Amino acid sequence: MADETRHVWFVVLDGQDVHTNHVGTGSVEVPLSCNVAQFKKAVVAMYVRLLKDVELDQLRVYPSMDEFLNHDCALIDDQSIAEFGSAPAESIIVLAPDLQRLLNEDFPSKKRQRCDDSANPKLSNLLVDPAEFNLANLSAIQGSETPILSTLGLQAFCQGYGGFPSSYMVRKEESMVWRVIENFLDDRNPTRVVLVGSSGVGKSCLVMLVGMYMAFFKQNQVVIVRKLMMPGLCNALMYLDGRSKRVWKEVNVLEEAMAELINGRFRDSLLFVDGYSQAELAESHHQALRPFHFLAMSSYYDVKPSEFAEMVVLPSWRRCDLLTYVRLTNWADNAGFSAVTLTEPNLKEFVNQHYYYSGGSLHQFCKPRPQLIRRVGFDLQVVGKVGEAIGRSPFYCYEDSRKNENLDRVCRHFVADPSDPLHYTTSSQWKFCIDSGYALAKLGDEMTSKELFQVYQYGKSIDTGFQAAAFKLFFHRAVCEAIYRRGPEAKIKMRANSPYPIIQLIPGCVNCQGQNESECLNYLAQTLDVNTYWHLKSTTFPFVDAVAMFQPYLAQPRREGIRVQMGVISVITEDAEEMQREHLDKLKQALALNAKLTKYKPVFLVVRPKPVVTEHGNWSPLESPFGAVEGSLE
């Protein structure tokens, strides 16, 4: 019987210049038992024009781009490749000797003569697979079951020049932004484009993709200037000649030399600028960058009335898109979670926990958890109290970022309707919102329950994912305001068949304590008393949100015959899962150990954000904002 086969994905790189020359991502069909030597033969057969004069022992094979760039540990000929190359993002790397020379020798002489830059040693051929930056397919890719591009070629091309990921996920937002930008860059009526958006959402990647597309699909000359903030690097300059398929790249270009190139040899090129603020462009030594065609930046940009420029926003990532990203990439390994088993259904919960810290920044989301928490903590220190930094408002308009550039550290851009192209160019439809639950928890002490409720409402309206954390914080803040007499009484409307239509929480003080399940259980078993409203500090693990005493709410005060009970409260939104029985059992055991609480029957309360009509016919979110179901822990 014939041996079963599989498709193996691979990338061929030039051994002389791995950062520039890349044939592209391809796949070959090989037997399941295929080893490295057999794989080499299949690759040579596929690229016979380029590799016909290459001996098999001259090819070096690496299991992945990471192994090639960081470890330089090649596979041996008799080693199996069964575990490698199963997807484009996991392509095997094949290193060939001096691929550039072989390509030049195989180039027709007439084509070389037409390229007036061929004698210049700085220019080299671009061998990145055009499929990696064919933006004409962006909408189709976004609508597919796997909306992701393998971009290993661009990763190699940009290595040392600002970088590019090995894969690029296409959200609806990227597809819509490109749809808008393409019209502005039209040759018949060109308009300068200013792409704004929060840090870490993908603006730099989009600049590279648009630049490559405008060069090699639209046959333009394009200059890309990237601001770099890496050790020893301050900028990168790339020249892309779409007609000759030739490129030139350099880092740490002096301002004088950059101006000479842009105003001289590259004067007919489209100028793409990435990472420079409007204030930096106003400086005399950056004046060569002012006549840009496409500018990407995170800070505020003030479009002058006489300036022919259009503002376009790239919104932040929603939690559902980050979940898709995790499923389609090797995010777990890159973020330091390779030892964690991330399979359904715990995958969604794990993503929720990480999103609680990162918010909608993909760059932050891809960091290991300890590093991410340190970074968010640092940003919070820079921002300071929310009352000082952002005027005690839960979210802001784009123009507010002009007042304080530190806003970008904790707030991110969103649009009201991601499906409406007009919303990407209409700043009145943009909101600047704190979307990290961790940041909200730290800064929430300076916010009222009304402000936190507005954050929840906005998060729900655009389905970002931070609304659950916002509602939990709102609930705790509303209870605190009631306890310290700064707000209405803490009342919860019960479901229709409950003994009482409304119950009232009756604690005398608040205690926020417990970062993990063990700390919370110890506090409930040893410390909690009947006068305390307790809620935990973190919401990133499956646990109840609060414990407090409650009684039926009566319009007319009546002291006798009122039964006080202990409420174990879980605050959830519509998209959250209710607690599992095993967690409830642990709670019951911990509460049973507390001698101060033994005479009170614990009742499980699930609190949901359901609107309530008051006796006056108007809904006030602070009067009775909670709907609940009741159940005993027994």
Residue-wise pLDDT for 599-612, tens only, equals 888 888 888 876 53
Question: Which amino acid is it at 599?
Answer: K
Contact (Cβ atoms closer than 8 angstroms) between residue 292 and residue 273: yes
Whether the pLDDT of residue 533 is over 80: the answer is: yes
- pLDDT for 307: 78
Query: For residue 157, what are its two tokens?
Result: 């091309």
> Per-residue pLDDT for 226 more than 80?
yes
Mean pLDDT of 456-460: 85
Domain ranges of the chain: 5-106, 130-139+169-313, 319-447, 487-632
User: Are residues 132 and 110 in contact, defined by beta-carbon separation less than 8 angstroms?
Assistant: no
pLDDT of 150 higher than 60: yes
pLDDT (0 to 100) of residue 343: 74
Q: Residue 209 has what pLDDT?
A: 98
Who wins on pLDDT, 524 or 16?
524
More confident residue, 106 or 208: 208
Predicted confidence at residue 322, as pLDDT, reads 94
Range picked from 12-26, 164-178, 498-512 for highest mean pLDDT: 164-178
Query: CA 360, CA 355: separation in Å to the nearest integer?
Result: 7
Quick one: how far is CA 566 from the chain centroid? 40
Distance CA 17, CA 10 (A): 18
pLDDT of residue 233 exceeding 90, the answer is no
Provide the pLDDT for residue 614.
33
Percent of the chain scored above 70 by pLDDT? 80
**Tokens (6 digits) for 392:** 């005690």
User: For residue 622, what are the CA distances in angstroms to 31, 91, 452, 483, 534?
Assistant: 66, 55, 11, 14, 20
- Helix H segments across 417-565? 437-443, 449-462, 467-483, 517-526
Instruction: Please choose, from the candidates 409, 465, 382, the residue with its C-alpha nearest in 3D space to the C-alpha of residue 200.
Output: 409
Of residues 376 and 51, the one with the higher pLDDT is 376
CA 505/CA 499 separation, integer angstroms: 16
Q: Which of 606, 571, 566 is nearest to 588 (CA)?
A: 566
Q: Are 126 and 20 in contact (CB under 8 A)?
A: yes
In the prediction, which pLDDT does 617 show?
32
State whether the Cα torsion 290-295-301-306 is positive or negative: positive
Asked if the model's pLDDT at residue 119 lies above 80, the reply is: no
Report the pLDDT value the prediction gives residue 486, as an integer from 0 to 100.
61
Secondary structure of 525-546 in HEC code, one letter for each residue = HHCCCCCEEEECCCCCCCCCCE
**Higher per-residue confidence, 400 vs 359:** 359
Phi, psi dihedrals of residue 235, rounded to the nearest 5°:
-160, 165
Assign residue 210 a region (left: φ > 0; alpha: ψ between -120 and 50; beta: otherwise): alpha
Would you say residue 525 has pLDDT above 90? Answer: yes
pLDDT for the residue 405: 65
pLDDT band at 137 (very low <50, low <70, confident <90, very high): very high
List the single range of 13-17, 76-80, 448-452 with lowest mean pLDDT: 13-17
| Residue 628 pLDDT greater than 80, yes or no | no
Whole-number pLDDT of residue 108: 38
Whether 631 has a pLDDT exceeding 50, the answer reads: no
Q: If you average pLDDT over residues 61-72, what whole number do you get?
A: 81
pLDDT at 337: 77
Share of the chain above pLDDT 90, in %: 30
Q: Is the pLDDT of residue 339 over 50?
A: yes
Query: Which option is the CATH number for 5-106: 3.20.20.70, 2.40.70.10, 3.40.50.2300, 3.10.20.90?
Result: 3.10.20.90
* pLDDT tens digits for range 292-336: 999 999 878 888 777 788 999 999 999 999 999 999 988 887 777
What is the pLDDT at residue 35?
93
- pLDDT band for position 579 (50/70/90)? low
pLDDT band at 217 (very low <50, low <70, confident <90, very high): very high
Q: Check: pTM over 0.85? Answer yes or no.
A: no
Identify the CATH number of the domain defined by range 130-139+169-313: 3.40.50
User: Is pLDDT of 615 > 50?
Assistant: no
Question: What's the pLDDT at 227?
Answer: 94
